[in-house]
Chain A
Amino acid sequence: MLTVSVYRYNPETDQEPYMQDYQVDTKGKDVMVLDVLEMLKAQDSSLVYRRSCREGVCGSDGMNIAGKNGLACITPLSEVVKNNKLVIRPLPGLPVIRDLVIDMSQFYAQYEKIKPYLINDTPAPAIERLQSPEERAKLDGLYECILCACCSTACPSFWWNPDKFIGPSGLLQAYRFLADSRDTATEQRLAELDDPFSVFRCHGIMNCVQVCPKGLNPTRAIGHIRNMLLRSAA
């Protein structure tokens, strides 16, 4: 039997959050954390969490598993169970709506700030804007982000200033558009980022890199943005 300790909070009935222990029989199989949550849900239908694709593509089930942020659907028990116990909490740093569901508004507000779409003031071509294979290769390691928020909610700078610091996820996306050969708004984008908070609150702690379930490297992207700011200022 596996003991699963889950963070519970229902603002309508609970004064404050608490941890609830469940027992589940995984029949010795190394299933994913999300499978365990489904078993818990069968025991106790009041437990609430987000999920959709169950294969690491949608980014809905980011949560704090055994102290580390990750996607429940692609995290096997063997990686996170210690002494036959599993601890699951919501992603840290953002308000909890209920149980494992957090309010991501601040995270999305930061994403919105970086204008996550191509801006191009040249006349649109008849068919599409083409890129060379080399230009396209610059987007590798950037476009794969699924906005799961595992990185930003692991970042101390984002915890303290979620309204001012864009956070690793938003900055990875900012660089994704700065690096795109089809985008002509590079200067405006850089001007928007050159204040003491948006980019420069990153202190290179690299929690973001450690947790990204897609293996992306926001710290490197932030370094590229800093270099672009340096070059445009020089």
Chain B
Amino acid sequence: MVTSVTSFGRSGLSDWLLQRITATIMTAYLIFIVAYFGFNDVDYASWKALNAGLPMKMFSLLTVLSIAIHSWIGMWGVLTDYVTVRLMGAKATALRMVFQLGVIAVSLLYVVWAIDVLWGI
């Protein structure tokens, strides 16, 4: 059993599952948006009407949350592969913490910003 404090979930399984679920949500959103633009003659009024509805706001928010979680888990994986004491020496731990906090800060900022945008419509 290898323990880690900075991974997203409690176990490897939950991180792995979340990574799959969030990927599915992002894919669904992408397909929906592409199809919406493909099959409709979109103008400002219809685009605004679509995004003003609560279901669409929820879907958008869910997607933004998925991006935040997905990138947190993904970046954690990349950082614990390459920015490690094994490869870089003692300074790696501090450097990795800075990067991880950066990823977390950016993700949270995006989420707050998205909420502001979505509920400002």
Contacts and interface: CB of A to CB of B under 8 A. Distances in A.
Given A156-B81, A195-B12, 6 more contacts: A160-B82, A163-B86, A194-B13, A200-B12, A230-B17, A233-B13
Interface of A: 156-157, 160-161, 163-164, 191-201, 226, 229-230, 233
A124 to B, nearest CB: 29
A156 B81 CA distance: 9
B80 interface: yes
Q: Is the interface of B mostly helix, strand, loop or mixed?
A: helix
Contact of B1 (A195, A200, A226, A229): A195
Given A195-B1, A195-B2, A196-B2, A160 B11 contact: no
A198 B81 contact: no
Nearest to B7: A196
Nearest to A200: B12
B1 A196 contact: no
A191 B17 CA distance: 17
Contact of A200 (B16, B82, B86, B87): B16
Interface in B1-18: 1-4, 7, 11-13, 15-17
Given A200-B16, A226-B16, A195 B11 contact: yes
Indicate the member of A156, A164, A191 with the most B CB atoms within 10 Å: A164
Interface string B81-98: 110101100000000000
Given A195-B12, A196-B12, A200-B12, A160 B81 contact: yes
5 contacts: A160-B84, A161-B86, A193-B1, A226-B13, A229-B13
